[in-house]
Structure 1
Amino acid sequence: MNFKKLAFMVALCLAVVIGALVFIRDHVVEKTEFIPDITDLTKNYMAQAEISEAAEKRQDPAIKPVEVITTLQDGTHRIALVFDGMPDRPLAARLLDVLAKHKAAAVFFLEGENVADVPEVITLIRQAGQEVGNYTYVGLAGLEKRPVEEQLREICRAQKVITMHDPLAPNLFRAPRTVYTDDLLKSVRAAGLEYAVKENVRFQPGHIHNAAEADAYVRTIAYGSIIAIPVDLPVEVKANDMATREEKPAVDMKPTIREDNSAPVPPQADLAAEVDLLLSAMERRDMQAVFVNQFRKIYYVPAGFPMPQPKSQGGSAK
């Protein structure tokens, strides 16, 4: 075989290989990355089976409200941190670094739709050894005012999305600006969760800029407190899952909770830096941040709820 024939054969082989690679790229690889998988996930996120099962449980007259985790009153210096709303990936990474620096535990209450959009954030949280809770599907405010069907839909869909991206199903529930009525707590139980978490301190981002301000703030916090740190805006109006987020936070009228007029993170606030200052100030007061499920569990009765009157002991006094 002369040189010209050899060169022709080599060129022909290269052309065949290149053509095959182009064919694979255009007709095989791109099709395997297609959207049916995303469509299937979206259908799973609807959690129809889970909602139906929860609705059946909710109709059971014997169903009991979940207990509420509240302040710790054992005289120790422990406190608990909960983050309300899922941070974006860069902020999540910084917050987790801050928590690791101070060896502090925290629970991140996540909206289901945000987990669906950025599932890697929940992986970061779990890999850092922190806990995850259910914050409804969209972070819906005033959940106790919603019909039972909507309560179950919000809670079950969030639970479904989180468990699709995390092997551990959340057992802790929160919702923004929500009163824990018996009806709502029964819905939480029917959706498969065990506890609701009620803070007694709400941190306001944008108010701590240095160690002195952090020390002054921490002096106002009692040992055994649950401190809620807002990350995202709550959803006030919701229609067909297209939620309108409020521009200005409404005043929170939760019973028995100190009115801090809690606000979302302002644009100029560096939440991770503030949490770092906060935890440093807590260390100076010998406070230890632990997981909230170490705190006490109670049967919760909202303020203003009619209390049962003591029964008569049989006859009037003589």
Structure 2
Amino acid sequence: MSLRKMGLLAVLGILLCAGVLMFFRDHVISTTGAQDEITDLSSLYEAQEEIAAAKEQLQKGAEPAEILTKDAGSHVAIVIDGLPDRTTTARLLDVLKKHGASAVFFVEGQNAANQPETIQLIREAGQEIGNYTFVGIAAAQGLPQDRLLAEICRTQKVVEVLAATKPRLFRAPRTAYNEELLCALRAAGIDYAVKETAHYAPGHLKDAAGAIAYAATVSPGSIIAIDIAKPVEAAAKDAPVEDLRPAVDKQPTLEDKSEEEPKKAPVDAASELDWLLTALKNTGKKPASIYDFRKIRYVPAAPAATVKEGR
């Protein structure tokens, strides 16, 4: 074999080795690193240390969190139940900015983890982020302690990681605030549970006239909840938290929907909020900070007095 051919083969061999090394670097090393990062992030959101710390606080006797609710002022408060998609959130934030209004976005930890950019939008807009449990579960007061703390603490952890601050406020669908739940909230670092006095779901306000009619029914001092998310029912006390709800959008997939289901008019939550805030201002009910509302301290019921029988 001539020296020229041998040199050509050597060059081809070098190029082949370089290509294999580049492929290994780009498709094996990079992919493995990405998988490790995702795994580590998932592990971080389990919040095992936070759950253990909350249990310890409960054992020491944590005081109940306070309840924020309707007061005698002329203002109102806006809370949004469930994390909307990024586009809807951006439009809602624009409407709030337009009216110089504040609101609390109560977010599910699972959806927040899947929409970090949306959490950043809310944070950068200066709006409050609250804890809506990890999956938006209904009747949270009936959950076993372990599962309740997991719902609360995991959401606290996700929001803290994404927004660099822990939520101070809590809500959950169709939930009655009892002593056990309020103590669990305080043990997890939450100061207040929020109780709404009015609510509506997007699609309820059809136009500006409808918003005016609705605003007339809202009494001063009310906390108005906008029901973005559908509540998740606890199928069983020991059901895994992760299996209860699909991530991000909670809506049925296309395959789940019946072909005969009639098409509904598109819902524009941002326009509805715009109409509502305009109507509220025109009736003298200006949106205010949730922290300006009445704070109720839970007082456990006194034990029944023992009745002594007379002789």
1:52 matched residue in structure 2: 52
DSSP 3-state at the match of 1:219? helix
Length, aligned pairs only: 275
2 CA distance for matches of 1:54 and 1:160? Answer: 13
1:219/1:45 CA distance change after superposition, 3 Å: same
State percent identity of aligned pairs: 45
* Letter paired with 1:48: Q
Residue 35 of structure 2 is matched in structure 1 by: 35
Please, which of 219, 226, 231 is the counterpart of residue 228 of structure 2? 231
8 Å CA contact 2:136–2:231 kept in 1: the answer is yes
Distance in 2 of aligned mates of 1:191 and 1:35:
30
2:71 aligned residue: 72
The superposition leaves residues 57-81 of structure 1 with CA deviations (integer Å, 9 ceiling, x where unpaired) of 1112x321110011132x4x31100
Q: 1:63 to 1:267 in 2, by over 3 A?
A: farther
Alpha-carbon distance between aligned partners in 1 of 2:84 and 2:18, rounded to the nearest angstrom:
44
1:140 to 137, 141, 147: 137
- The C-alpha deviation readout for 1:278-308, integer Å capped at 9, x for no partner, is 111112123221221221211247xxx9677
2: CA distance, partners of 1:179 / 1:79: 21
| Residue-by-residue CA offset, 1:186-237 (whole Å, 9 max, x unaligned) | 0111111111111111123322122221111101111111001011111103
Q: Does 1:216 align with 2:216?
A: no
Which stretch has the larger CA shift, 26-35 or 202-211?
A: 26-35
CA 1:296–1:134: 2 relative to 1, 3 Å: same
Gapped runs of 5+ residues in structure 2? Answer: 1-10, 252-263, 306-311
> Do residues 193 (structure 1) and 190 (structure 2) align?
yes
* Conservation of the 8 A alpha-carbon contact between 2:68 and 2:293: yes
Query: Do the aligned partners of 2:201 and 2:228 also contact (CA within 8 Å) in 1?
Result: no
After superposition, the Cα gap between the structure-2 partners of 1:174 and 1:285, relative to the gap in structure 1 and judged at 3 Å, is same
Where does residue 286 of structure 1 map in the other structure? Answer: 284
- Asked if 2 retains the 8 angstrom alpha-carbon contact of 1:236 and 1:244, the reply is no
TM-score (norm 1): 0.79
Superposition pairs of residues 1-318 of structure 1, within 5 angstroms: 23-24=21-22, 26-30=23-27, 31-32=29-30, 34-60=34-60, 62-73=61-72, 75=73, 77-237=74-234, 239-240=239-240, 241-243=242-244, 268-300=266-298
For 1:138 and 1:193, the matched residues in 2 are separated by 17
Q: Structure 1's 306 and 165: CA in aligned 2 closer, same or farther, altered over 3 A?
A: same
Structure 2 residue matching 1:228: 3-state secondary structure: strand
Unmatched segments (≥5 aa) in structure 1: 1-11, 248-265, 311-318
CA 1:56–1:222: 2 relative to 1, 3 Å: same
Distance 1:58 1:223 in 2: 37
Superposition deviation, residue 29 in structure 1: 4.2
8 Å CA contact retained: 1:180, 1:300:
no
Distance apart, 1:107 and its partner CA: 0.4
2:4 matched to which residue of 1? none
In 2: Cα distance, 1:23 partner to 1:295 partner: 64
- Higher helix proportion: 2
CA RMSD of aligned residues (A): 2.9
Aligned-pair CA distance for 1:28: 3.0
2: distance between equivalents of 1:22 and 1:203? 60
Q: Give the TM-score, by structure 2 length.
A: 0.80
Deviation at 1:21? 8.4
2:52, 2:41 → 1: CA distance?
19
What CA distance in whole angstroms lies between the structure 1 residues aligned with 2:268 and 2:212? 18
Moved over 2 A (4+): 18-24, 26-33, 244-247, 266-269, 305-310
- 2:18 & 2:222 partners in 1: Cα distance? 65
CA deviations 1:244-270 (Å, max 9, x no partner) are: 5899xxxxxxxxxxxxxxxxxx87322
What is the Cα deviation at residue 20 of structure 1?
5.8
Q: Secondary structure of 1:289's partner? A: coil
Structure 1 counterpart of 2:226, one-letter code: I
